[in-house]
Structure formats: structure tokens, C-alpha cells
Structure 1
Amino acid sequence: MSEGNKTICIIGAGAAGLAALRAILDTPQYKAGLWKPTVFEERDQVGGIWLPDSATDKSGLPMTPLYDSLTTNLAHPVMCFPSFPFPPSTPIFPVAARVQSYLESYTAHFELNPFIRLNTLVTDVLRDQSRWKVQFHSGESVDFDFIIVANGHHRIPRYANVPGLESWLALKKAMHSVWYRHGQYFGDKVLVVGGGPSGNDISAEMRSYCTVLVRSITGALREDSGNLKIRGRLTKLGSDGQVFFEDGSVESDVDYCILATGYQVSLSFLSPPLLYPALPPPCPPLPDTLYNSTYHIFPLARHIFPIQTTFPPTSLVFMGLPVRVAPLPVMEAQAAAIVHAFAHPEAFDVERETRDVLARYAELGDDPAAIARKWSVFTEELQWRYQDELHEFAHKDIRVPQWRKDMYGAKVLLRSFWVELERRGEADEWVKGVGEGGIDEWAALLQKLLRAAQEWESSK
């Protein structure tokens, strides 16, 4: 057991930072007065990506890519913190404002506010002998024993490497979806690049504002349906509105392009020698320092703990990096593992963790660039195993229940059916009073909803 008073810096008051703080306040070390946590948040409220921010100024990056029509793409009983369900009667796929209210309620319920410093931007994190020196935009500098990096990774746009894109951006004929807030007229023919959730939502909304909506989705087959054209990977943006695709097809007279092409992992407060902004060298062996490829931080044990030679691997940790997961349950599991490692650094077996990282590296192929892109992307099976193993590491008897797995797997059908129920005006009746008896009521409702969705799908 580590001894003595320890100070803990948490960077970011989004879902990850709040989960970390709550886990710390639940420890015997905090209750004994040995651990002193502080969360530092750049913005004026908690919530992170769910806290709205205007995108009217195209010269600067908004704090969040949150668009006006966003609803969750996972049912809230699946995506919530398992220890804190959404309020009774919440729509199954809530709008963003309800998620923001949920995080504010979480903060109030667990009495987290006294430990959060708002309007406080971390500018640098440096290793100073056996402690961390954290510097802020005000010029203030504070030493800490532990750092939890929970700053999110949905702000810095990732642009496709497409010939002609820079010209389109310069001519204001294209923008990244980080600036998108609502449907509007961008021209008669609009191109949306990207097949993720934001690309899907933006495309569905934009079809009402243009004559022809062209979608570029890597790996997609060519298809035309109404005013929607689906094409494969974008290869070139030409002059005079010409757009070229991998299958050799060309679209002419495209007026505007919206790039729903994702985001970079960005940690501006960490710089060499702590973190190098580059693709890591091929493995094995693991490098002696950390790298940020913009797709992943490497090498991290369990996607959390840095394996390197400069500082103890349990003294600076990362949260919220896995993608294509139910994020809040993953963050809760990560927080449990982190506080256990802070209290029991001897439980961290560097040799075993190194073997595990190298084994995953070998599974993903032999191209370092391709491995970087795949590293943080989880399959369904991996995310369930990941959560269970983190709880096991933290000595918590918690397993992902089967209903969460089933409902995650049925997320697309469930969301489609929920949209249909909203169209019919029946959605509110489905959830009325549900949740007053706890999470089990939500689980039962989702199972009922799935059966109805399957019948609806088969009857179409």
C-alpha cells in the first residue's frame, strides 16, 4: 500500500474526469484524508463534449462538435454509468441536452463540485524529480503526485488526405463537421464524407436542404435512392465542383462538402520527452517513451498506463481513449482500475502488461500506420472482456450483464424502431414511469422493445 498524502490532478470535467473523481472520493484513502483530488476544466461547466458551444466563428475551433439534432446512438441504459441510471421516463435515445443534464445530476448527486476548478486551462505537464508539475494558463504552477488525463478526443479535426481539399477549404466550399450545427442550404448538390454516426446524422438532415445528397463511405457499394447517392472512398476534389471516387465514378456540380472524417487525439499539454508527436517505431521491442500518432497513445497497458522508462507507469494515466464502445461503462471500469493502481502500484506487472501489448500489436498486422488506426477501435467482444478485466484488476466483483451486450448488439435496430415510435407519437408511453424501480426496469423494457422492433422489422 502506498503511504502518505497524495495529490491527484484530473484534466477535464467531462464524463471521464467525473468518473475518475467519483471513484477517488469512494476510496478509503480519500476518506482517511490521504488523497486530495482536483479536477481542472477549461470551460465554465462540467459535461465535456455534451456541453453546447457555438460554432459561428469558423476561424477558431469550437469546444465541442455537438450539433443541434444530436441524439445518442446507444440506448441510455446501455451507455450510462452502471452505478447511476438516467432518470425515470427518459426517452430511450435521449437528445444531447438530456445527457448534459444527466452529467450535471451525476456531479450533484456524488457531491463532486467542490473538487472541480472551472475556467482553468492546463497548458503544460512536466516531470520534476519524483512529482508532476502542472502549469495553467494563469501562470500558476502546482505539483501533484498523480495525473489523470481525461481531456477527451473530439475537438481537433482529422482531414482526409485528398487532393484538392485544401483548395475547397480555402474557397469555403468545404468544412469539417466540427463546425456543423444544423441543416441549412449549402447548395443544390452537397457531398458528405464519412460513414460514422455524425456522417449518418448529418446526411439524413441535409437531404431536406439540397436537391442531391452524395455520400462518400469507404468500402460502400454504389447506390442511388431518391435524392441520395452513395459512393465509395473519395479520391479527389476537382475544380468546378467535380468529385472523384475510388470506383472511377465522378460527380459534377457539387456545391459543398462536409467532412465527417473524425478527430485527432490531441494532448497539447504533453510534449517531448514525455510524449512525442509521431508514429511509434515498429515493435517489438516496445519504445522507451510515449508516442501520439493522433490515432492512439502508445504504448499504454490496458489503454491506460504508460509503459516507458521515464516515470512510474501508475503515476500518469489516460482515460477515454477506446472508441466504438459504450463510453461511460468503460470509463467507470477504467476509473476503478486507476484508483486500484494508485493505491497498489505493486499490482502493476510491467512484464505481463508488455507481453499483452505486444500480443495485441502482433494481432493487428505488421504495418505500424495501420496498427495505429486500429489500436483504439474495439470489437464488441473486446469491450466486454476489457471491462470485466479492469474490474477484476480492481478486485471488484462486477461483470457486464448479458442484457447490455444484447442491446448494444441490437443498437441500430433499436434506434430505427425508436424513431418509428416517435413518428407514431407512442415513444413517451413506452418509457412512462420506467426506471422508478432501478436499472432492472430499464433492462426489462429494452428486452420488450427489442422483441417489438424485431416484429416491426420482419413485417416491413
Structure 2
Amino acid sequence: MAVFVIMKIGVIGAGAAGLASIKRCLEQGHQCLAFEQTDKIGGTWNYTDNTDIDDNGLPVHSSMYQGLRTNLPKEVMEYPDFPYEEMDRSYIEHNNVLDYMHKFAAKYNLIPHIKFLRQIIEIIPLPNDKWSLKERNLKTNGITEHNLDAVMICVGNYSVPNLPNIPGSETLGTRVIHSHYYRKSDPYKGKKVLVIGAGPSGVDIASILTAVAKEVYISHGEHKFGKTGHEVVDKPLVESFKGNVAVFKDGSEIEFDNVIFCTGYQYSYPFLNAECGIIVEDNWIKYLYKHIVNIEHPTMAFIGVIFKICPLPMFDIQIRFFLEFIKDPHRFSKKEMLTDILESFNKKGVPNRLCHMIGNHCQRSYAEDLARTVQIKPLRPVIHNLFEYLFNNKNVKKKYKIINDEEFNESNVV
């Protein structure tokens, strides 16, 4: 039987997943020490004009840009029991989300538990499922070591750009950037812009650019996240670049002034010592039980590596899963956990790089599996109901309201 023991838990990052982790750790009576590399909470939701190096000489974490609106309605982006204030729309701006996180942190008094301006130098496993964490104070340069009972990695997924290897792209020079470095549309005024990738950021940036650019093209495969409007010209995948000309898979060509790669990000954990047993191979983090637990050292969790989900509710159930799991971290053998991982991956039948994708059709079953495995409270079904409804009915001009645990209603934005 699982026995509750007060633990000293380290939380890496004070963004959306980190804040929820601190709250749940404290709620369950644990000691919690959180480490944040910047001087702010909110993670990637903090906008900065800086794109390369921050004020402390470290790579900029945030990929936030001007004009970003959420790609999901706020009703499926809430922490449980902490709704957004009433607003006139459901698809909100990034500063609204950041304000929401500040209110969440204030209500639950989370700030005193966060060490700001702390760079994690190294995390090393110790005997008996314990951890050594070394952090550097970015103001004093002093290094401090902490001994912890568990570690929760909450560093987000949107800071290390993934750049595809397209022949000729090495010659593009300053004409090309990754969306991580995109901040505002001004530099593209009167330009011919090619956006590569039609996920949420690709579709959003292409749509924003139509207000200032001369021409906007978006290159993608079969799947496209939402609509970009008739001003954006759809193109197939790029086969190669020849100077300022893009050659597409169908043989067509266009001239461009600038290219923006909206091609996703890479998971990166440079602070994990090799003894942690974590390897990232083609963006598959090997190996995480239920996309959370490090099977080599099961008192380490990765919160929020899954994508195509309702972020905040899903982070919360992952956190609650882990805090229940570590009451008996060896309830499953390493072999049992690995078998579960491989069976789940083979059933999905996707490339390695999509291992951690959950998606519209699997979020409900994944969340229910977490709840069932360690006997915790499941998410409200209405979260899944609305998420699934949006798959074929996304419309940023609609507003939603949660009525009860099962039902929502839809209305037009006034």
C-alpha cells in the first residue's frame, strides 16, 4: 500500500507546468523548492524583444511574439478550480494568459517557494531514489547544491528550434529565421514571405503577416492547423532552395525575400547528468512511463512534454499522477513500464518524433488512463468534449462557456 511521506521536491521552471507543480506539492504537504532561470514567472508566455541572449548571457527561452492569440479557447486552458475572469472572447491574447498565471501564483502564495535567476548546472541521481541538484545564482555566480527526494522537470518545449535539412537552406543567410526568433511583423513590410510549417505558429504568423507583407505563402504537407484566409497562398513541401527561389515538391517555384521556419522544437535537457539515463532520440525522450516518469529513476518526472493537448488541465493531471506515483515509485518494474511505453508507441504507429503527441482523439483516453492507473480524480469530461468538438469546428469568432462537468455552450463573439 502507498504510504505518504513528506518529501523535498525540486521543480525546474516556473512556467505553466512549474506553477501547477508547486501548488500541488504544497497542497499535499511536501516541501517544494522551485528554480527559475529568469526573474519572472510564466515561462514562454513572457514577451521579450530579445531573441538570442538574455540579460544574463543565456539563450532566450521565450518564443512569444506580438499579436499571438491562443490556439485554444481559454475554457480548456484553465487550472482546475481556477477559472479565468469573464471576458468578451474565448481566444485570448498572450498577456491575458500571463496575467492569469500571476493571479494563480498570488492566490496560492507560490512566489516564496521560487528561487529566481537560478541556472540548473547539473542533476545527478543518488542512492535510494534521491537527487543532487546544483544551481548557479546568476547574480552572484555562487553555486549551491541541494539534496532532493524527487525532481519535476517543467522547462517547456518551445525554446530549442528544430530546423529541417532542406537542400540550399544553408545559403539563405539572414533571409531565414526560425519562429523562435520572430517577434513582430514590421521587418516584413512590403516583402514576399514564405512560411514553412502549418502548425499553430505557422498559421498564426502567416495570417499576421498578411497585414504588412506584399505576398505570403505557407508551405506544408497534408495537415494544416486552421485557416489562414485567402490572402495566404498554400504551397506543398519545399524540395530545395536556389538563391531566393523555393522549389516545391510539385515542381512549382516562387521568389521570396524572407523565409520563416515554423517547424517545431527539440526537447533539450543539458543539465541532466548521463547517470539520469535520459536520451533524446529523434525527439523521443527515452524512456518516460506515461510520458512522465523516468523509468531508470522513477522519482524524476517530466511534466508537459506531451503536445496537441489542453495544456493546463493536462499538466495538472500529470502532476497529480506523479505525486501519487512516488508514494510507491517501484510499484511497477522497469520492464513493466518499458513494455507499456513500447506497446503504446507501436499502437500509435507514428514516427519517433511524434511519440509524445497526444492529439484530439487520444487526450481523453490518455487522461483517463492516468487517473485509473494510480486511482486519482479524472479531469472533467467537458474539457475533452470541447477539445474534441473544436477539431472540426474551430472558429476564433466563437465564445464558449462551461455549463457543468459534461456540457458547454457556444455563442458568437459580440
> Alpha-carbon deviations, 1:311-356, whole Å to 9, x = none?
3x2x111110111000111101001111101223254454443332
Q: Which residue of 2 aligns with 1:51?
A: 46
The structure where helix makes up a greater share of residues is 1
C-alpha contact 1:191 1:216 (8 A) present in aligned 2: yes
Q: Which residue of 2 aligns with 1:245?
A: 248
Query: Per-residue deviation at 1:6?
Result: 2.6
Q: Which residue of 2 aligns with 1:318?
A: 302
- Confirm or deny that 1:218 pairs with 2:221: yes
Change (3 A) 1:201 1:98: same
Q: Distance in 1 between matches of 2:345 and 2:232?
A: 39
Instruction: Write the letter of the residue equivalent to 1:232.
Output: P
Q: Distance in 1 between matches of 2:133 and 2:303?
A: 18
What does residue range 197-212 of structure 1 map to in structure 2 within 5 Å?
197-212=200-215
Q: Distance in 2 between matches of 1:306 and 1:181?
A: 35
Q: Distance in 2 between matches of 1:175 and 1:191?
A: 11
Instruction: Write the letter of the residue equivalent to 1:119.
Output: L
Q: Distance in 2 between matches of 1:90 and 1:149?
A: 35
Q: Which residue of 2 aligns with 1:397?
A: 377
Change (3 A) 1:220 1:320: closer
Instruction: Write the letter of the residue equivalent to 1:359.
Output: E
Stretch of structure 1 that moved more, 42-51 or 349-358: 349-358
Q: Which residue of 2 aligns with 1:302?
A: 290
Q: Distance in 1 between matches of 2:242 and 2:15?
A: 40
What does residue range 8-47 of structure 1 map to in structure 2 within 5 Å?
8-27=9-28, 30=29, 35-47=30-42
C-alpha contact 1:74 1:408 (8 A) present in aligned 2: no
Change (3 A) 1:56 1:296: closer
Query: Per-residue deviation at 1:412?
Result: 6.4
Q: Which residue of 1 aligns with 2:169?
A: 165
The counterpart of 2:182, out of the listed 153, 176, 180, is 180
Q: Which residue of 2 aligns with 1:126?
A: 124
Q: Which residue of 1 aligns with 2:74?
A: 76
Q: Distance in 2 between matches of 1:409 and 1:225?
A: 22
Query: Per-residue deviation at 1:448?
Result: 3.2
Change (3 A) 1:333 1:263: same
Query: Per-residue deviation at 1:212?
Result: 1.5
Q: Distance in 2 between matches of 1:272 and 1:346?
A: 21
Q: Distance in 1 between matches of 2:60 and 2:392?
A: 29
C-alpha contact 1:71 1:93 (8 A) present in aligned 2: yes
Could you say what secondary structure the match of 1:99 adopts?
A: helix
Q: Which residue of 1 aligns with 2:139?
A: none
Change (3 A) 1:4 1:331: closer
Q: Distance in 1 between matches of 2:184 and 2:114?
A: 32
C-alpha contact 1:215 1:228 (8 A) present in aligned 2: yes
Q: Which residue of 1 aligns with 2:159?
A: 155
Instruction: Write the letter of the residue equivalent to 1:257.
Output: V
Could you say what secondary structure the match of 1:447 adopts?
A: strand
Change (3 A) 1:225 1:448: closer
Change (3 A) 1:442 1:290: closer
Q: Which residue of 2 aligns with 1:448?
A: 410
Instruction: Write the letter of the residue equivalent to 2:403.
Output: D
Change (3 A) 1:53 1:2: farther
Could you say what secondary structure the match of 1:39 adopts?
A: strand
Q: Distance in 2 between matches of 1:333 and 1:225?
A: 36
C-alpha contact 1:185 1:210 (8 A) present in aligned 2: no
Q: Distance in 1 between matches of 2:346 and 2:404?
A: 43
- Confirm or deny that 1:269 pairs with 2:264: no
> Alpha-carbon deviations, 1:401-449, whole Å to 9, x = none?
146423543266343333xxxxxxxxxxx79xx8xxxx537986x5132
Structure of higher CA gyration radius: 1
Q: Which residue of 2 aligns with 1:388?
A: 368
Could you say what secondary structure the match of 1:343 adopts?
A: coil
The counterpart of 1:360, out of the listed 341, 344, 357, is 344
> Alpha-carbon deviations, 1:104-147, whole Å to 9, x = none?
11111112122111111112111233431111123211111111
Q: Distance in 1 between matches of 2:37 and 2:327?
A: 28
Q: Distance in 1 between matches of 2:168 and 2:351?
A: 27
Q: Which residue of 2 aligns with 1:284?
A: none
C-alpha contact 2:67 2:93 (8 A) present in aligned 1: yes
Could you say what secondary structure the match of 1:198 adopts?
A: helix
The counterpart of 1:108, out of the listed 100, 103, 106, is 106
Q: Distance in 1 between matches of 2:295 and 2:230?
A: 52
The structure where strand makes up a greater share of residues is 2
Q: Distance in 1 between matches of 2:305 and 2:230?
A: 38
Q: Distance in 2 between matches of 1:393 and 1:6?
A: 22
Change (3 A) 1:294 1:210: same
Change (3 A) 1:225 1:202: closer
The counterpart of 1:340, out of the listed 324, 338, 345, is 324
Could you say what secondary structure the match of 1:377 adopts?
A: coil
C-alpha contact 2:291 2:302 (8 A) present in aligned 1: yes
Q: Distance in 1 between matches of 2:230 and 2:76?
A: 34
Query: Per-residue deviation at 1:220?
Result: 6.6
Q: Distance in 1 between matches of 2:259 and 2:396?
A: 26
Could you say what secondary structure the match of 1:386 adopts?
A: helix
Q: Distance in 2 between matches of 1:351 and 1:48?
A: 35
C-alpha contact 2:307 2:359 (8 A) present in aligned 1: no
Gaps in structure 2 of 5+ consecutive residues: 137-141
Query: Per-residue deviation at 1:44?
Result: 0.8
Could you say what secondary structure the match of 1:397 adopts?
A: coil
Scaled by the length of structure 1, what TM-score is found?
A: 0.80
Q: Distance in 1 between matches of 2:26 and 2:95?
A: 27
> Alpha-carbon deviations, 1:24-82, whole Å to 9, x = none?
1121xx1xxxx311110111111111122223558974321111101111111112112
How much identity, in percent, do the aligned residues show?
Answer: 24
Q: RMSD over aligned Cα, in angstroms? A: 2.7
Q: Distance in 2 between matches of 1:220 and 1:361?
A: 21
Change (3 A) 1:73 1:408: farther
Query: Per-residue deviation at 1:16?
Result: 0.8
Q: Distance in 2 between matches of 1:248 and 1:219?
A: 17
Stretch of structure 1 that moved more, 370-379 or 342-351: 342-351
Change (3 A) 1:179 1:225: closer
